[in-house]
């Protein structure tokens, strides 16, 4: 026979039952805000405030209140979110200051007005290449207002609109504190650094640089210094020739309809190679930059000049200007493909300095996560400062342009 048990006692009256403790609403809010605080910084702060309120209520309640663990978790998440957002703000501030410093080091090219451009000049044909060439001189005032432009067009009939690449180049041979002019277009005119591009089917714009001293040499030393000082002021006003390069680009876009705006390159040898790098750092409309045996650090190049007493009396703000006109100062702004060329036996632009500049450019490009293909360093064993550029540099650069 099954054993019988007495029935369970009845539940106590409702007014005698122990109340069921519910988690603190502040604890729940703390946890929710702590999670959302990683997305919205103000909620991380709210999580911290609610968390402290919840914990404070818990300590005031005998035996504590349920939800203390939730409050601690939300409070921890709130502080973590606030730390993460603080780090993000610091990174943004540092990056902003770095970008501002980079922008401040650039020349204010945009402040200089663009001159009025004449119509295209009459062209003559160079034999045996068939390349057509013409030259104009601007009639404006101010930096770049009176510069000379020489245009080379490929042989053959007029090409279609926007069908040809264009190379902007300047004459080499300056001392990097004065400019250089473009000689008259006659039977003795120099074409060796421009003609190969045109023969390869490209438009070439050769432009002068403000601050030319002229062919006349002053016999008196004081007059020589004054002439150099005047040339320096013109060169400095043209922002180391960057204004001249900008004007050449504007001329190509305004007066040469056959030029493809998306395929315009800067190029130059020696001092003009330095300017090519400077122009590329300032001008984002360029497709790429070519520099044969450039000077990467103009301040280092002129160490001897800077060591002379009283140099600032004749060359105002020379130290800051040389630093500002050094391509190494603007490596972070070279956000386009660059082709560097150097001969190991060059006695004017030393290979060791070119190598150091390339390594620095490579490091900066790596920090900015730029493609490795955007920086090319072509080195030849011999040929010196000039012949190597003519015989090997320009042909290699033309192939590089075609690859891009």
Residue 301 CB: number of other CB atoms within 10 A? 20
Report pLDDT digits (tens) over 296-308. Answer: 999 999 999 898 8
Give the whole-angstrom CA distance, residue 388 versus residue 269.
11
Average pLDDT, the chain: 86
Residue 277 has a pLDDT of 98
Q: What is the mean pLDDT of residues 263-279?
A: 98
| DSSP per position, 104-152 | HHS--GGGSPPPP-PPPPP-EEETTTTEEEEEEE----STTTT-EEEEE
Whole-model pTM over 0.85: no
pLDDT score at 3: 55
Q: Which residue has the tokens 């402040």?
A: 111
Check: CB of residue 299 under 8 Å from CB of residue 326: yes
Q: Cα separation of 250 and 265, whole Å?
A: 13
How many Cα neighbours within 13 Å face the side chain of 354? Answer: 26
Q: pLDDT of 191-249, one tens digit each? A: 999 999 999 999 999 999 999 976 555 567 778 888 899 999 999 999 999 999 999 99
Residue 4: per-residue pLDDT: 59
Please report the pLDDT score of residue 97 as a whole number: 46
- Alpha-helix residue ranges (DSSP H) falling in 192-349: 195-199, 221-237, 242-255, 271-282, 298-301, 303-307, 311-314, 318-324
- Is residue 102 very low, low, confident or very high in pLDDT (cuts 50, 70, 90)? very low
Q: Please write the tens of the pLDDT for every residue from 26-68.
A: 667 777 876 886 787 788 788 788 767 766 766 655 545 566 6
């Amino acid at each position: 026979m099954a054993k019988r048990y007495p029935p369970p006692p009845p539940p106590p009256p409702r007014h005698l039952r122990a109340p069921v403790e519910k988690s603190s609403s502040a604890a729940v809010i703390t946890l929710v805000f702590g999670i959302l605080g990683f997305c919205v910084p103000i909620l991380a702060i709210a999580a911290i405030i609610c968390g402290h309120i919840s914990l404070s209520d818990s300590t005031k309640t005998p035996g504590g209140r349920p939800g203390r663990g939730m409050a601690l978790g939300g409070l921890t998440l709130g502080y973590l979110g606030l730390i993460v957002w603080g780090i993000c703000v610091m990174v943004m501030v540092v990056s902003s200051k770095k970008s501002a410093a980079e922008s401040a080091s650039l020349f204010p090219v945009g402040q200089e007005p663009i001159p009025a451009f004449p119509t295209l000049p009459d062209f003559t044909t160079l034999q045996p290449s068939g390349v057509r060439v013409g030259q104009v001189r601007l009639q404006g005032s101010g930096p770049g207002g009176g510069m000379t432009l020489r245009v080379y067009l490929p042989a053959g009939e007029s090409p279609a609109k926007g069908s040809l690449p264009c190379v902007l180049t300047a004459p080499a041979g300056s001392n990097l504190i004065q400019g250089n002019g473009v000689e008259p277009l006659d039977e003795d005119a120099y074409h060796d650094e421009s003609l190969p591009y045109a023969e390869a089917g490209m438009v070439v714009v050769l432009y002068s640089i403000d601050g030319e001293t002229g062919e006349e040499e002053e016999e008196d030393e004081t007059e020589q210094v004054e002439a150099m000082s005047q040339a320096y002021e013109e060169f400095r006003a043209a922002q180391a020739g960057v204004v001249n390069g900008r004007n050449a680009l504007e001329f190509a876009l305004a007066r040469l309809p056959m030029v493809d705006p998306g395929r315009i390159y800067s190029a130059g040898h020696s001092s003009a190679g330095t300017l090519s790098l400077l122009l590329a750092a300032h001008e984002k409309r360029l497709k790429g930059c070519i520099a044969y045996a450039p000077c990467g650090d103009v301040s280092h190049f002129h160490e001897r000049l800077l060591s002379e007493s009283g140099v600032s009396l004749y060359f105002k703000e020379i130290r800051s200007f040389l630093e500002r006109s050094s391509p190494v100062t603007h490596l972070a702004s070279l956000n386009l493909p660059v082709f560097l060329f150097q001969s190991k036996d060059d006695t004017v632009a030393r290979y060791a300095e070119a190598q150091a500049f390339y390594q620095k450019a490579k490091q900066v490009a790596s920090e900015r996560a730029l493609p490795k293909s955007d920086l090319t360093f072509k080195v030849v064993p011999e040929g010196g400062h000039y012949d190597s550029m003519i015989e090997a540099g320009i042909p290699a650069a033309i192939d590089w342009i075609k690859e891009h």
